Chains A and B, each alone.
Chain A
């Protein structure tokens, strides 16, 4: 069965189903959804979804580590906002956003005006801003005011600290981010995949970069209280990397990434909500990384298992077809299509894959065993061999004449039926050539 893009909706539906199962399952396991835990779970899910949504763009733009740099860069903003306004999530987020934004511009300034590459520029901004943040934090720690304890959550993440008002704020900001993404969907898609093309068509690339960058900073800043400064990069990119394995479509990838993010966020928040000894960030990252691991292994088309299986199949098919042709040619030399070929001869000709080929040909009923270690074509085997032989001839002709006949240029794979690879009229042109060739050979003989 071919894996088509619309099959991703099944994956999305299954994720939704897992969500639905997750709640009764956790209740069955003894989780009690009181007011606090519900708030934390909803907050975690929302934050995960927002990170997943914007993480898609970060990963596709190959700026994954920007998430790391900017989450560290947000710290001084948080600290200054705390010094000015106290522990109010809204102001802390504004501070973090401004600092993260300045950090992003700093990285751009360093890479644009010097020969320092982006990785080192990110390292410089990351550590400097973090040191600045720690400096301000040590000022805050002098205060007798106990409310400074709330700031630690930004370094390691503490979902338990999310309250109702935070969730409302997250919903508002998240809605704006979602609307921004939806409104500029086409533009963001364009600057993500082909900046030059976007620029040449008159899109304000710099401005769009800035807008998308700002939205990413918003996602990072919101996610900080869940995952913490250090692990935020994982929360941003892991859902997107996992989602990337399942689909080639940006829209599907974004939806899937949001679901993965929401799942990791909610489960991390709930698990750490139950056992308060566990910080939220690490749990979320572990869940998200498990999703990545599953995706890398099992995703159709791209996944490692899938690739491994396909390579195995190709190898078997390759062996079978080659051995089939060998038997056929051997038989043709004896002017009897059912003339048996000795196994030793085939092995000498084809090497170790001969045995594999014989096994699968026999299983498919294309050859039968005649006497000791001798193999002859069956009727269906003869038909298949003639077909394959013809196919090879067509491929050979394609290689010789494709330019002269101005046929479409494709990758040559002799084991695949050429009729699947080329348009009909091109094949019929090749057929004409092939008929001429065989006629000439018949005449000569």
Chain B
């Protein structure tokens, strides 16, 4: 882990200086946004395939049950006498195992044939999560695994959780009494044993070295034993963890893009072609678990689900192409992270939200809730949702507005066609005078009179029908329109009938 960090830092130092890097990483905002962006990338990639395979809520289930993996791994570490460490790779293994166990338990319940798929998931994960909570509350005390961390995460303090990498003046310094820098003091040897005051004449003294021993570079600088401070890079751990997970996910998706695509859209075909959908399926589940557990610290176990689902759903509303969805989803995720941090910190697009609250307080009583203070990860999720809603409304093809407009256009078109077909069918027929009379036409179509007038106005504007002597007639252009409509919309045999009829 440390070696990888060192490599990343070495690469970065080609572009920037150590001071700049330290200043940058000391800013909570920068670190939170970088970590959040990495979470967004890492989660969106497997999320695409979860959504396509209609398994979106599996991510919810897994993100809960990784807790069981963590707790069990934790207990094993304690049982082995190791120092419990929340950054141990054992936790990752436990989490991956828990994810796989969740999926297997769900499938086992489902395969018994006694329980439907949705209920199987709804049984499996609460049970595993309940086990985790019972274990935590009974066996694991005073650890970071408290309930708030499970829910919310602490992306805001990611900047404080660092590894220090030293670049210059790194050696620890050993001071011996012979050293020029050694300082000496005097202390009473028999004062405490004999109950004497140091001023007492019987007190005996010895000389001893105050600063002898081994000092780390940082301590040595604090004691001014060396002339210049050690040159260190303070690197937030979360960036490395999340970065690695994101990288693993990117590699997985790139390598198995074709297979994943095949399995997501046609599992039977994939099986017939000799792929092993099961292996791919479980690998995907392991990646979801690893992502969930790595994001655990940053955004909490429930909100990480939002990073799996919402950006992908947003991209899914915009395009049909899988490659585009894969590219767009992380971008929406990152946008949500970026604006979400500002929202949480009270300056949203330059709008001071504290001021808004105080203004609201002056209008309606807010009972003192005038300081803007929210959880950062929750605000990020809210921004993800806001982006989703905007796209949902505005998407040119699948958006709400486009859908409403399309539906309305189709209805208008249908009304026009109804009228034209009616006019056409009765043209030259026995009861033409009665059926086409302007006064009674709406009754034959069983429309309100107003509706008929609207439709008729539209049709006449397009010169598809005309009114003569209180009768409505279809024009030549109208007959053409009916013919086109018949060709486009009816099954072949009906088309032939109508074309024949029109031809007559």
A residues with CB within 8 A of B: 59, 62-65, 67-68, 72, 83, 110, 113-117, 119-120, 122-124, 126-128, 130-132, 134-135, 138-139, 142-143, 152, 155-156, 230-231, 233-235, 237-238, 241, 244-245, 277-279, 281-283, 285-286, 289, 292, 296, 302-304
Contact = CB atoms under 8 A, between A and B. Distances in A.
Contact of A59 (B54, B109, B119, B126): B119
A271 to B, nearest CB: 10
A127 to B, nearest CB: 4
Contact of B369 (A67, A83, A122, A296): A83
Given A119-B57, A302-B114, A304-B112, 12 more contacts: A65-B122, A113-B392, A114-B317, A119-B56, A123-B56, A127-B303, A139-B374, A230-B129, A241-B115, A245-B114, A282-B130, A296-B114
A62 B117 CA distance: 8
Interface string B151-183: 110000000000000000000000000000000
A128 B317 contact: no
Interface of B: 51, 54-57, 59-60, 64, 109, 112, 114-116, 118-119, 121-123, 126-127, 129-131, 133-134, 137-138, 147, 151-152, 302-303, 305-306, 308-310, 312-313, 316-317, 367-369, 371, 373-375, 377-379, 381-382, 384-385, 388, 392, 398, 400, 403
B102 to A, nearest CB: 13
Given A138-B375, A142-B369, A155 B119 contact: no
Nearest to A117: B54
Give the most central of A131, A142, A231: most B CB within 10 Å: A131
Give the most central of B109, B151, B384: most A CB within 10 Å: B151
Of all A-B residue pairs in the complex, the 8 with the closest CB atoms, nearest first, are A234-B126, A127-B306, A282-B130, A131-B381, A285-B130, A128-B385, A123-B309, A120-B56
Contact of A65 (B118, B127, B138, B375): B118
Nearest to B407: A113
B283 to A, nearest CB: 21
A91 to B, nearest CB: 15
Main secondary structure of the interface of A (DSSP, over half): helix
Given A123-B57, A142-B371, A296-B112, A63 B118 contact: yes
A361 B173 CA distance: 92
B388 to A, nearest CB: 6
A124 B137 contact: no
A441 B214 CA distance: 110
Contact of B126 (A63, A123, A134, A233): A233
Contacts of B403: 113-114
B298 to A, nearest CB: 14
Contacts of A130: 302-303, 378, 381
B398 A114 contact: yes
Given A68-B60, A131-B378, A123 B305 contact: yes
A238 B124 CA distance: 10
Give the most central of A110, A116, A117, A281: most B CB within 10 Å: A116
A234 B119 contact: no
Contacts of A123: 56-57, 59-60, 305-306, 308-310, 313
A234 B127 contact: yes
Contacts of A83: 367, 369
B122 A67 contact: yes
A294 to B, nearest CB: 13
Contacts of B152: 134
Contact of A138 (B109, B308, B374): B374
Given A123-B59, A155-B151, A234 B381 contact: no
B130 A286 contact: yes
A63 B118 CA distance: 7
Contacts of A135: 374-375, 378-379, 382
A296 B123 CA distance: 12
Nearest to A129: B385
A296 B114 CA distance: 7
A303 B113 CA distance: 10
B152 to A, nearest CB: 6
A281 B119 contact: no
12 contacts: A114-B403, A117-B54, A120-B56, A123-B306, A124-B388, A127-B303, A131-B377, A142-B371, A230-B302, A278-B137, A282-B130, A286-B127
B336 to A, nearest CB: 11
A152 B316 CA distance: 36
Contacts of A67: 122
B399 to A, nearest CB: 8
B123 A234 contact: yes
A120 B313 contact: yes
Nearest to B320: A115
Contact of B127 (A68, A128, A289): A289
Nearest to A284: B130
Contacts of A238: 123, 126
Contacts of B371: 142
A126 B133 contact: no
A237 B119 CA distance: 7
Contacts of B303: 127, 130-131, 134
A64 B116 contact: yes
A138 B378 contact: yes
B302 A116 contact: no
A122 B109 CA distance: 22
A35 B302 CA distance: 37
B147 A285 contact: no
A302 B114 CA distance: 7
Contacts of B137: 277-279, 282
